[in-house]
Amino acid sequence: MATLRRYRTVVSDSALWVDFPFRAGDVVLSPPAKCGTTWMQMLCALLIFDTAEFDRPLTEISPWLDAVTYDTAATLATLESQRHRRFIKTHTPLDGLPFHQDVTYVCVGRDPRDAMLSFENAAANIHPDAMSSLDPQVAQLPAPDPLDRFWVWADADLVNDTTSFGVTLANLVNHVRTFWDRRDEPQVALFHYADLKADLPGQLRRLAQVLSIEVSEQRINELATAATFDHMRGRADELAPGVDAKLWRSNENFFRSGTSGQWRRLLDSAALDRYQRRVVELAPPDLVEWLHRP
């Protein structure tokens, strides 16, 4: 087996994957932060259970295995007890995950600028009690000007340590690139947030094909309705991550808007040119084009 790259943040450690006992059919859901992780967990749940009604919160059905903010032994016990097809959350890039031929690895990409603004909204929604437990270096106040914060995010090198959330442009591009470079392998599936927004039934159908789940066209449309942004926001107490740990000021505000393109109000033409110069330093042209698709 190839040597795995270790990824660490203040909330996760990919080393927790090393000895995980996989089962044939497991699904590993690995989008970068704020690129549609909860959305993809919901879509998997709809297909695997063939229902929109669950007997426990989504975060318990699809736990975050390598989160250090949870009891790892309890997480592993939960996964061991599950008899249904397991779909497991992580934010670890593909080169940090054990790779098995009978496991499916799913990533979701998103326009990085949208992901950055979405993370800012999420960070502002974290409950003060949760922030107080973090390293003071992580909890320090960010730059007051939103454009300054954008350039801190865009210009930073890849961050891989326990003093940050690991949310930078370099981290996001690196994460997606580990999937992009292996996207033609049958166990690897790469989705785009914009496609989920534009054609949710079509993307749910594609996911069913990736997971080899047979489902009728009528049922696809019925299940997709339960995964629209408004429906998920209305069930925030069941579907938002971290509800068991009281992570958010408001569970509903975790699903704040789900819109794209808000960065246009922040970046003028000169800023966009600067951003473009930065992003082409991090990824090949075809990946840059794919990430920034309208």
The question of whether 231 is a catalytic residue gets the answer no
The residue annotated as part of the active site, out of 91, 100, 192, 292, is 91
Residues 6+ apart with CB under 8 A from 208: 47, 214, 215, 220
Residues 6+ apart with CB under 8 A from 227: 39, 42, 43, 46, 200, 204
Catalytic residues: 91
